[in-house]
Amino acid sequence: MRPVSVVGVGLTQWGKRNDVSLGELIVESAEHAFKDTKGLEPKDIEALYLANAQSERFTEQAHPANLVAEFLGMSPKVASRIEMACASGGAAIRNAFFAITSGQADSALVIGVEKMCNVPSPEAMRNLCLVEDLTWESFHGMIPPSGFALIASRYMHEYGVTQEQLAKIAVKNHKNGSKNPIAQFRKEITIETVLESPMIAHPLNLFDCSPISDGSAAAILVPAKEARKYNDTPVDVIGSGQFMEPSFNCSNMQSLTTWRALVNAANNAYSMAKLKPKDMDLAETHDCFTIAELIEYEDLGFCKKGEGPKLVDSGDTEIGGRIPVNPSGGLKSKGHPVGATGVAQIAEVTEQLRGEGGPRQVDGATTGITQNLSGFATHHVVHILRRQN
């Protein structure tokens, strides 16, 4: 295995992007990523991974990876679209990591994209429902928020957490997102905003939920030895882990409140990096719902099981705290264009480790972790990044 570095990242403006087509949105993030390198061009790229969950449903365009090749004028020798629902981005980064570390490619471009606001929001919700088990869950009225609401009810029973404590996670992420120029929502909110917003699935209100978004993110990976040719501050991918539970719906999960797939993916990434949770300076995690970020604190090892609510109250997950989580604003405030999310997490941690976080910079950060999930939290991808010495 040869070491791998990130030498370029790029993001588009996230939110409602009726001004561009799917292809144009893809090009926008890719162009930013190439500009972020010293002179790499699309024609130099040997491997292309496009993370996208549902371009067929949202934009009636299938086969989007080939679209990239035409829009960017590239002809990669390895090319794939990666579909893992909300974890498509993380899975695509992991594939690019494999392509480079194995020596099969000397450069890889990962683009994550989703254009969800093309359809009315009830239709977008319907599309997202397709991720649940059709026969045994969706048919009965399971939708993504209700799945995480069930998890929340179980967490409340087993360990105890209040709606106020969950709301604090949304408040923190909106505060961080207010400092992120690409974020969909750049407005700070209060605990009352969350508690007084419409109930979506008890105990989760509208402001406990991430939005429907358009957006794209890109990252360029090369062998670590070559990295300084393309960027003055390369960021190495030193840990990569992925795990899927032998369970599609919630019936076969060992626990709704300890996500076995996350614990295993995180353990794999930590052991590859030869680091521990306490070595992380920041984290970008998958806060599709506030309860998700809470459980992620515990399963990523930032605190003991059941102590997530205490960690929230301590303020230690704020920028400036012991382990800042989602300095980008997270899915909650930055937005959640499904296929782009996991790639954007890599982009945020890369910028933070270079010291380019601007008003949301985590001071002195050298090592960071990303976590991207899909389905009923039954599939997780974790990456650990460190600034190259």
Which residues lie near other proteins (CB under 8 A)?
122-123, 125-127, 129-130, 133-143, 145-146, 149-154, 157, 198-204, 206, 246, 249-253, 256
Q: Cβ of residue 126: shortest distance to other proteins, in angstroms?
A: 4
Q: Tell me if 284 sits within 8 A of 328, measured CB to CB.
A: yes
Comparing CB distances to other proteins, the nearer of 155 and 270 is: 155
Which of 32, 86, 286, 288 is flagged as catalytic? 86
Closer to other proteins by Cβ: residue 40 or 143: 143
Q: Is 138 exposed, middle or buried (0-12, 13-18, 19+ CB in 10 A)?
A: middle
Burial bucket for residue 373 (CB in 10 Å: 0-12, 13-18, 19+)? buried
- Smallest gap from Cβ 211 to other proteins, in A, equals 13
d(CA 104, CA 46): 9
C-alpha distance from residue 9 to each of 83, 115, 174, 382 (Å): 21, 19, 23, 18
> 272: part of which helix (H) or strand (E)?
helix 260-273
CB 219 within 8 A of CB 47: no
Cβ closer to other proteins: 212 or 266? 212
Task: Report how far residue 332's alpha carbon sits from residue 358's, in angstroms, rounded to the nearest whole number.
Answer: 20
Shortest Å, Cβ 378 to other proteins: 13
Active site residue 140: no
How far apart are CB 295 and other proteins at their closest, in Å?
14
Question: 191: which residues sit within 8 A by CB, 6+ positions away?
Answer: 164, 167, 168, 171
Q: Which is nearer to other proteins, 221 or 292 (CB)?
A: 292
CA nearest 2: which of 104, 92, 95? 104
For the question of residue 32 being annotated catalytic, the response is no
Other C-beta atoms within 10 Å of 345: how many?
Answer: 33
Minimum CB separation of residue 159 from other proteins in Å reads 12
| Residue of 174, 286, 336, 380 marked catalytic | 336
Which one, 14 or 289, has the nearer CB to other proteins? 289
Shortest Cβ distance from residue 235 to other proteins (Å)? 39
Name the minimum Å distance from CB 116 to other proteins: 14
CB closer to other proteins out of 246 and 315: 246
DSSP string of 300-327?
Answer: TTSS-TT-HHHHHHHTTTSTTSSS-B-T
Closer to other proteins by Cβ: residue 137 or 281: 137
Closest CA to 32 of 195, 182, 229: 182
Instruction: Tell me if 30 sits within 8 A of 1, measured CB to CB.
Output: no
Query: Across the strands, what pairs with 384?
Result: 239, 369
Please enumerate in sequence order all residues whose Cβ is within 8 A of that of 273, keeping only pairs 6 or more positions apart, or say none.
238, 239, 384, 386
Residues with catalytic roles: 86, 336
